[in-house]
A and B are shown apart, each in its own frame.
Chain A
Amino acid sequence: MARAVDEVHDVLQDGEQALRLLRLMLLIRRFEERAEEQYTRARIGGYLHLAIGEEAANVGSIDCLGPDDYLFTSYRDHAAALAVGSSPAAVMAELFGKVTGVARGYGGSMHLLDVDRRFLGGWGIVGGHLPIAVGAALALDYRDVAGAVLCQFGDGATNIGAFHEALNLAAVWSLPIVFQVINNLYGMGTSVEQSSAEPELYKRACAYRMHGERVDGNDLLAVREAAGRLLTRAREESRPALLETTTYRFRGHSVADAGKAYRTAEELASWRERDPIARYAGLLREHDLLDDGQLESMRKEVADEVSEAIREAAAAPAPDLGGLYENVYGDERWREQFERMDTAAPFGERMETRSWQS
């Protein structure tokens, strides 16, 4: 649901709401830890990018999305899927390459989506989804829908041309979109300082006469307040904004990266002290909204939920081989359009040779 700015501040007045957000962050943390473990057991292939440490930056903004809003994010997308409410079992199944996955096992970790919840992906090319998110905002504007787009990406995306083209188009066309840069200080192993002439990334908005601001991405309520305010403004005034949320990934770029060659143990330790979940849980304790027992039972609940997701994903079938050629095209005439391309096609491509695997 869309929330006015004053409501956003009201999280601490509403115990149920406050605990819901904590639970969501705990779920993401647990999901990521177990996904990492499942990867080492070779149940997950390809790349696996974890958002451990970035839970507040994800939950804080995504929780502000309203019924007509759309979400786009990068390949570090498990948190986004869980935050929009996709079933952990379907997300885990996608990581496992199972037919019950959110993309039926065709996309994997980097290409999650949930069309019903208007989450349009998990995208694998750094910065590539920014112009596409602008197009979604254009469609809202075209149809006169009072919705907005939240487009998340990492700090590394801010140096690619698509970033600048997307921000410029959103500004010259005055589109309802909030660009959220989740600045975790490193694009793979290259620091923001090393790669960005203006390392205060929110300032790049100036070049497009766009509002830009930076908030502490490990402060759930700060992210939520800023994202809520900017999304409301996007919906009501059809204006874009750039929101920088500074955070830190506790793991490497992907599971294949230990994340230690380019970062010091001291740096990691200092960020662990700013763990977004511990910090938010502490705040709730201060406001008497949480006690140790509740926290423990919540941890157990999400752990059980993730275990169940793993069980379901492991038990689900892999996609049928007969579906290899499905969904390359979607027009209902595609078979008749392509039928005359079957003649003398390469082995395995022409129908008479398709059965070589069976």
Chain B
Amino acid sequence: MAELTYREALRRALDEELERDDRVFLMGEEIGRFEGSYKVTAGLWAKYGPKRVRETPISEEGFVGAGIGAAMLGLRPVVEIMTINFILVAQDMVVNHAAKIRYMFGGKVGVPMVIRTPGGAGAQLTAQHSQSLEVWFAHVPGLKVVAPSNPADAYGLLKSAIRDDDPVLFVENLVLYNVTGSVPEPEEDFTLPLGRAHVAREGTDLTIVAHSYTVRRALAVADRLAQSGFEAEVVDLRTLRPLDVDTVVESVRKTNRVLIAEEGWATYGVGAELAARIGRACFDDLDAPPERVAGAEVPMPYAKPLELAALALEDKVEAAARSLLAECGLVGSA
């Protein structure tokens, strides 16, 4: 095991897959000589050259489409979109094309492509650069959506995504890039399967479900709750489509209470989907209706106090958790 940042873990996964399979190539804005807007691809252009690490113009619709075409001919493009906000200009390529191709062509051709892109907020990047749009894509049959919360997961899931035969949206997080964690050594060929959630912390009083950066917040909140004598279980979804409902349900059956936390907007979000699933699967297990906590339903404001108020930070997640516990008559010891 090595101690790596989330950024370095991603880079190692890309490096290994480029090395392993010559059908794999990278494509995106500033990913070559500039070494990536967030430096994920640093060093790879120098190592693999301009053919394997292809710099593109600012032309998301164009180069996402080019990735699709190359994938249809059997290559395995890994396309970087500088931030998830810019994927909207390529939405037609992702939703109308990549997601549909295999099905509407009767299974005769597929799109083994990965689109990597960071989402998230918290750096005063304001309304057009602070979104968590992954649920838009998780809504669409034909796509897979992955959103790792830590370096080891980022490493194992990215390698799986690149080896997958279907289009995968791989959602990173701006605030996670510098977070460190233990990552398996290359010789282990470590991968993580898509469609499997992970119990990041065990507990008995409450389940908190989250993905991406919000998992870290949930873990911090679980520590705070422990001070009051409550043991929260934290489920890291890892992938949003396929969604591992079983792991969530198993946990809720144990804790009888569930809070779904997400960084994006709650309406029609991950929590909405999970609450419906939990409502059906755990109808007799719940001590209270599933609760949701998420970002404020406003475009992200700039001013720091406003931005902090809009984010689903630890305090807000904790307040939601305590409110849910109180609803069940549990007030805590502190």
Interface set of A (CB-CB < 8 Å, partner B): 70, 101-107, 111, 113, 115, 120-121, 123-125, 128-140, 142-143, 161-162, 165-166, 168-169, 172, 326-334, 336-345
Contacts and interface: CB of A to CB of B under 8 A. Distances in A.
Contact of A327 (B107, B144, B247): B107
B105 A169 contact: no
Contact of B68 (A107, A135, A334): A135
A115 B92 contact: no
The 4 closest A-B pairs by CB, nearest first: A135-B69, A131-B65, A165-B62, A327-B107
Interface in B182-223: 193-197
30 contacts: A106-B103, A106-B105, A107-B104, A107-B106, A123-B97, A128-B65, A128-B96, A131-B63, A131-B66, A135-B69, A139-B70, A142-B70, A143-B75, A162-B92, A165-B59, A165-B65, A166-B62, A168-B62, A169-B59, A172-B57, A328-B142, A330-B102, A331-B166, A336-B195, A340-B195, A340-B243, A341-B245, A343-B246, A343-B277, A344-B278
B133 interface: no
B64 interface: yes
B109 interface: yes
A347 B279 CA distance: 14
B25 interface: yes
B70 A135 contact: yes
A140 to B, nearest CB: 7
B88 interface: no
Interface in B52-95: 56-57, 59, 61-75, 77, 89, 92-93
Contact of B243 (A113, A329, A341): A341
A340 B106 contact: no
B102 A102 contact: no
| Max chain A C-beta neighbours (<10 A), residue from B62, B74, B194, B246 | B62
Given A106-B106, A166-B65, A120 B72 contact: yes
Given A125-B96, A172-B57, A344-B277, A131 B106 contact: no
A26 B3 CA distance: 69
Nearest to B279: A344
Contact of B249 (A327, A333, A343): A343
A161 B195 contact: no
Interface of B: 25, 51, 56-57, 59, 61-75, 77, 89, 92-93, 96-97, 102-110, 141-142, 144, 164-166, 193-197, 241-247, 249, 276-281
Contact of A161 (B61, B67, B194, B280): B61
Nearest to A172: B57
Nearest to B67: A135
A18 B135 CA distance: 56
A140 B73 contact: yes
Contacts of B103: 106, 327-328
Contacts of B61: 131, 161-162, 165
B267 to A, nearest CB: 18
Given A169-B57, A329-B142, A339-B195, 18 more contacts: A102-B106, A104-B108, A132-B68, A134-B65, A134-B66, A135-B65, A135-B69, A137-B69, A168-B62, A169-B66, A326-B107, A327-B102, A328-B141, A330-B165, A332-B165, A336-B193, A338-B195, A345-B245
A143 B25 CA distance: 12
B90 to A, nearest CB: 9
A327 B106 contact: yes
Contacts of B281: 343-344
Contacts of A134: 62, 65-66, 69
Nearest to A110: B104
A172 B281 CA distance: 54
| Max chain B C-beta neighbours (<10 A), residue from A102, A115, A329 | A329
A140 B141 CA distance: 29
B106 A104 contact: yes
B65 A130 contact: yes
Nearest to B274: A344
B166 A121 contact: no
B18 to A, nearest CB: 13
Nearest to B108: A115
Contacts of A341: 195, 241-245
A13 to B, nearest CB: 36
Contacts of A333: 164, 193-194
B190 to A, nearest CB: 17
A235 to B, nearest CB: 16
B278 to A, nearest CB: 7
Nearest to A115: B108
